[in-house]
Amino acid sequence: MRILLASLALATLSACGLSPMYAGGGSGAVAQSLAAIEVAPIEGRAGWLVRSALEERFAAAGNPAPRYRIDIRLDDRLEGLAILRDDTISRERRTLRARYQLTDLSTGEIVLDATDGSDAGIDVVSSEYAVIAAEQTALENLSQDLAQRIVTRVALALRKQR
């Protein structure tokens, strides 16, 4: 009876219409579309970090002539969260938000217009050097996370377009 139920479940699963997004690996349709994206320059240190992370992910399948361009505007904020009785900050939150548009260069059509973001908490300690290092590390980690979110969203949009 269990074997029959398992077989029935597998049969219905194969009919659901799901297919892997990155089918075909680096030569698949989504990977080739991602590789054909040009990342426009983004200002600031956060912009440099996000752009580098995106270019690394997009170029995984080679680097054909660009078919798409992605324009990104970043909002990087650092704010104090916990304030002690002596008016010192004991915890900060760093937030990195992106507004981006993916444009088809041949038609000028906007394929995707979206926003994404990520944030991290930072403990403020007595060592100023440690706090600055924690803020920089948070920015680097947020840039990687944001880049991955953007790549996933772009891949989904390009997959729907095909």
Per-residue model confidence (pLDDT) at position 18: 46
For residue 72, what are the β-bridge partners? Answer: 100
Q: What is the mean pLDDT of residues 13-34?
A: 58
In a 13 Å sphere around the CA of 21, the CA atoms on its Cβ side amount to 14
Q: How far apart are CA 73 and CA 157, in angstroms?
A: 19
127 or 21, which is more confident? 127
State phi, psi for 107 to the nearest 5 degrees: -110, -20
Joined together, the tokens standing for residue 152 give: 């996933």
By the 8 A CB rule, do 154 and 110 touch?
Answer: no
Structural domain boundaries in the chain: 23-161
For residue 91, the SS3 value is strand
By the 8 A CB rule, do 27 and 60 touch?
Answer: no
Residue 29 has pLDDT above 70, yes or no: no
Q: What is the mean pLDDT of residues 22-46?
A: 77
Residue 35 has pLDDT above 90, yes or no: no
pTM: 0.79
By the 8 A CB rule, do 39 and 58 touch?
Answer: yes
* % of the chain residues with pLDDT over 90: 56
CATH topology of domain 23-161: Double Stranded RNA Binding Domain (3.30.160)
